[in-house]
Amino acid sequence: LWLIFFTLDSLKIDRICEKYVFVTGCDSGFGHLLCRKLDKHGFRVLAGCLTETGADDLKRVTGPYLKTCILDVTSTASIQKALEWTQEEVGDKGLWGIVNNAGRSLPMGPSEWMRIEDFQSTLRTNLIGVIETTMNFLPIVKKARGRIVNIASVLGRVGVNGGGYCISKSGVESFSDCLRRDIQCFGIKVCIIEPGFFKTQMTSLQPLEKELHHIKIQRVIMNAICDSDLSRVTNCMEHALTAAHPRTRYSPGWDAKLLWIPLSYMPSCVVDVGLRLVMPRPAKSI
């Protein structure tokens, strides 16, 4: 069985140089690195960046076939404009892959500290943005019988912090599962990436400490569990786009495999005790 799985897992698609992939959130982090890898492999990369600076930085380190557009996934008008631009680029070939990578982690903290606007801002980016972008781009992905790769998180399995982040990533998991079952008859594959903790702008300690400045142990925890090798995540994204038989779920990171995923299968009382040890809560409200 292992030999069969390994063989199927290693089979690759052909004619990569003819395939277009659209990636959101390419200013930095996973999206930026993924675009560089896909460009090097010969994909026609269409990168959605939030800022002109991010787009310029990406174009400086990639080849002539990578193209960028400005995309704010919280704006319906911006998504529509990006779709029209993409349709012009791909023509009748359709879009082989869309990678919903854009996201945010803050505001984050104990739930009673959060305002309703804090939840809404994160959900608008991480969940509604993913859904709206996917549903708008679905017809051109359908044309190519391509791939939809959604970036969730292990915190979509285990709710750790208050705020909208864990809620939004749990929603991405559910949306992706429902979508996969709905459209698999059209030959479209939907893959979920569930990274553990990695050192990106989303896990940068400075903004986290502003949100949680009273929890001194936060720095120790984040330094201990955050992996600096972002290629572990982008390798999974790349496999989801290039494998003939992509996996339904990828869980890059040692903490994902050894801590968060096993914890997600435990009884709730065990999870509660474990999280109190790993992620201590403040003693009182302020």
In the chain, the N- to C-terminal Cα span, in Å, equals 55
Per the rule left: phi > 0, alpha: psi between -120 and 50, beta: everything else, 282 is: beta
Select from 219, 202, 139 the least CA-distant residue to 168. Answer: 202
For the question of residue 165 being annotated catalytic, the response is yes
Taking alpha carbons only, the member of 190, 164, 191, 160 closest to residue 264 is: 160
DSSP-assigned letter for residue 12: B
Count Cβ neighbours within 10 Å for each residue of 11-34 and write b for 16 or more, e otherwise: eeeeebeebbbbbbbbbbbbbbbb
Q: Rounded to an integer, what distance in angstroms lies between the CA atom of residue 86 and that of residue 17?
A: 17
- Owner of token pair 């390419």: 26
Beta strands 67-70 and 44-49 are: parallel
Q: Name the catalytic one among 65, 165, 250, 265.
A: 165
At 151, the amino acid letter reads I
Rounded to 5 degrees, φ, ψ at 280 are -65, 145
Sheet of 147-151, strands arranged across:
67-70, 44-49, 20-24, 97-100, 147-151, 189-193, 249-250
Q: Catalytic amino acids?
A: 165
